[in-house]
Amino acid sequence: DAKTTQPPSMDCAEGRAANLPCNHSTISGNEYVYWYRQIHSQGPQYIIHGLKNNETNEMASLIITEDRKSSTLILPHATLRDTAVYYCIVRAGTGKSTFGDGTTLTVKP
């Protein structure tokens, strides 16, 4: 069973920040939070991951709450090409990952 819950869909205006929430209230101490996105008919693309500190890379920022029960993926300046299904998963080590239903983000001009 998936360990995360996400809203099924979100819209965002092009050029604005997209903030995608994820709840993972049963996360274990050794589990990392990973974010991926999937554009139609392609394999998922890794975006970012973190344990408890906020993280930033060239694609996005990840904000993890202090209790680690939820996180937010931030795309600072969304473009039309960011339209995709975004998945938040938790995973420890090299263990398997179970995907939930994800959030369909639609970036609108």
Partner 1 sequence: GAVVSQHPSRVICKSGTSVKIECRSLDFQATTMFWYRQFPKKSLMLMATSNEGSKATYEQGVEKDKFLINHASLTLSTLTVTSAHPEDSSFYICSASVTDSLRSYNSPLHFGNGTRLTVT
Q: How far is the CB of 15 from partner 1 (least distance, A)?
A: 27
CB 64 within 8 A of CB 34: no
Closest to partner 1 by CB, 18 vs 86, is 86
Around 77, how many Cα atoms within 13 Å sit in the side-chain half-sphere? 2
Told to check if 93 binds partner 1 by CB under 8 A, we report: yes
- For 105, phi then psi, to 5°, come to -95, 125
Told to check if 51 binds partner 1 by CB under 8 A, we report: yes
Q: Which of residues 10-49 bind partner 1 (CB under 8 A)?
A: 32, 34, 36, 38, 41-46, 49
Binding window for partner 1 (CB under 8 A); candidates: 16-24, 64-72, 74-82, 86-94: 86-94
**Residues in contact with 98: Cβ distance below 8 Å, sequence separation at least 6, in sequence order:** 1, 2, 3, 89
**Residues in contact with 47: Cβ distance below 8 Å, sequence separation at least 6, in sequence order:** 35, 36, 37, 57, 59, 60, 73, 86
Closest to partner 1 by CB, 63 vs 99, is 99
Q: Given the rule CB under 8 A, which residues bind partner 1?
A: 2, 32, 34, 36, 38, 41-46, 49, 51, 87, 91, 93-94, 96-102
